Amino acid sequence: MYKAILLTVVLAIISCATPSQEPAKVEGVGFFKPMPDEKFIAGSDAITDFWMKYIDAHNKRDIEAIKAMSADSIYILGPDGSELFTNKQQADLLEQWFAAADPKWDPYWAMPYSSVPSGADWIIAGHLVTETVDGKESKTLQMIDGEIKDDKVVRFFVYAAQAPKE
């Protein structure tokens, strides 16, 4: 009988000590004008790691790895307003760019973020891009804002500025 009373008391204490709660609603910050309800929170470093592998594939000139990490119907907006819509277009442009300017990306900062409530994973990253054309080296700062879904880059936007003189 004492065991039954003790069990009843323990169960009563546990039920009082652990109230049922709905999952906390995640609140984000910021805004995105085309989607007024969208906010943003810090994302996972798994997205940062993925992005670094993507950039490494560019620096290694590994077109097949880049295509494998890019969605078939990737959208890319270049700093000059040019647009690409497929990973084949991306691969063609990169092959030409690699041959003409030997670009090298040196990432100097990155921050993954997620949008809520949609759950999309993004990264915004700064890169120092060095190009060599006809033996002359130039450096550009590029900020890239990219969306990653299911281990594929689905779209990104490139913004560029002249690097300060050293």
Domains located in the chain, CATH noted: 40-162 (3.10.450.50)
- pLDDT at position 98 is 98
Ranges under pLDDT 70 in the chain: 1-24
- pLDDT at position 151 is 96
pTM listed for this prediction = 0.82
- pLDDT at position 143 is 98
CA angle 64, 67, 72 (to 5 degrees): 145
Give the DSSP H/E element, type plus range, for residue 45. Answer: helix 45-59
CA distance 91 to 98: 10
Take residue 22 and report the two structure tokens written for it: 């709905």
- pLDDT at position 7 is 41
- Give the number of other Cβ atoms within 10 Å of residue 155's Cβ: 19
- pLDDT at position 11 is 42
- pLDDT at position 10 is 40
Q: What is the distance between the terminal CA atoms of the chain, rounded to a whole angstrom?
A: 84
